[in-house]
């Protein structure tokens, strides 16, 4: 086996959509001088690992757990500027906080309705079981865009506003017509997979966490390959490490293609 052939084996043989990427100005050691530079560096690194397109959402440059509506607007404007650099490669998601549900709906109207963002990002301001999310979910259903909800199940306990997979399951039951992407398969673990078994309106993304063996195989067995989408959580995580959680798994090639590309297209309502 040559080094060149091994390098080739670590690359996907088809298109890949990464559903979970942050700008460099939110996390990591890069300090881009502008959204344009941010986009260029991020795209170059993504392409090095075979990523074709990516959904990008900012959590504001200081990543506060309780962002203000103005900080969310700033974050969304930043991502829109990134999209302008490579509209075919960067798919912007709208970041809002359920702490301000009415302002959140106005921001969704601006970003999704007027600027063509294709999804909504919720982080750790409020848990998914909080009724403050309901207005946001209704807006998402109206625009037919998915809501990507951060989730973890931490041994030391989650943050006050940080959703567990059981909170996400509660959200999915309250809004059965919504499309929910629950983040961080490796962060929610086997219990998180079980929480979603009977909830077809939720898919789980593979972003973040360590490249733990065996968990993707369990997720496919319990949820089916159509309910899993590839995500990296770059730049916190390495595109190449995260994509090889899929490429290196003991699963069917068709399931890999679904996870890396087809499922995301279906959820985002795009054809390429």
Residue 62 contacts by C-beta under 8 Å, 6 or more apart in sequence? none
Kindly indicate which of the ranges 56-64, 67-75, 153-161, 198-206 contains the residues binding another protein, using the contact rule CB under 8 A. Answer: 153-161
* Binds another protein by CB under 8 A, chosen from 64, 113, 211, 224: 211
Smaller CB separation from another protein, 119 or 187: 187
What is the smallest separation between the CB atom of 238 and another protein, expressed in angstroms?
Answer: 5
Q: Is 214 in the site for another protein (CB under 8 A)?
A: yes
Q: Is 44 in the site for another protein (CB under 8 A)?
A: no
What is the smallest separation between the CB atom of 106 and another protein, expressed in angstroms?
Answer: 33
> What values do phi and psi take at 218, rounded to 5?
-65, -40
Smaller CB separation from another protein, 122 or 249: 249
Q: Is 98 in the site for another protein (CB under 8 A)?
A: no
> What values do phi and psi take at 136, rounded to 5?
-65, -40
For 245, the token pair is 């959680």
Query: What is the rounded distance in angstroms from the CA atom of residue 182 to the CA atom of residue 168?
Result: 7
* Binds another protein by CB under 8 A, chosen from 31, 102, 156, 253: 156
Residue 73 contacts by C-beta under 8 Å, 6 or more apart in sequence? 107, 110
User: Total residues contacting another protein (rule CB under 8 A)?
Assistant: 42
Work out the number of other CB atoms within 10 angstroms of the CB of residue 154. Answer: 11
């Amino acid at each position: 086996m040559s080094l060149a052939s091994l390098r080739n084996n670590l690359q996907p043989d088809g298109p890949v959509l990464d559903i979970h990427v942050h700008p460099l100005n939110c996390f990591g050691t890069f300090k881009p001088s502008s959204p344009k530079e941010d986009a260029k560096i991020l795209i170059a690194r993504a392409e090095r690992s075979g990523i074709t397109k990516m959904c990008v959402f900012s959590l504001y440059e200081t990543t506060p757990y309780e962002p203000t509506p103005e900080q969310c607007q700033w974050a969304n404007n930043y991502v829109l500027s990134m999209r302008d650099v490579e509209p075919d490669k960067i798919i912007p998601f709208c970041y809002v906080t359920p702490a301000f549900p009415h302002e959140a709906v106005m921001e969704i109207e601006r970003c999704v309705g007027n600027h063509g963002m294709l999804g909504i990002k919720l982080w750790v301001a409020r848990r998914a079981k909080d009724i403050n999310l309901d207005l946001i979910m209704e807006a998402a259903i109206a625009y037919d865009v998915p809501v990507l909800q951060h989730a973890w199940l931490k041994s030391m306990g989650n943050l006050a506003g940080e959703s567990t997979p059981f909170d996400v399951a509660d959200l999915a039951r309250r809004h059965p017509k919504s499309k929910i992407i629950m983040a961080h398969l490796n962060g929610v673990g086997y219990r998180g997979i079980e929480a979603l078994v009977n909830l077809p309106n939720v898919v789980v993304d593979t972003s973040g966490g360590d490249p733990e063996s065996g968990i993707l195989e369990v997720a496919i067995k319990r949820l089916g390959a159509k309910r899993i989408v590839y995500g990296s959580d770059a730049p916190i995580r390495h595109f190449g490490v995260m994509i090889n959680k899929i490429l290196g798994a003991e699963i069917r090639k068709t399931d890999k293609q679904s996870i890396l590309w087809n499922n995301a297209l279906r959820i985002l309502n795009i054809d390429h």
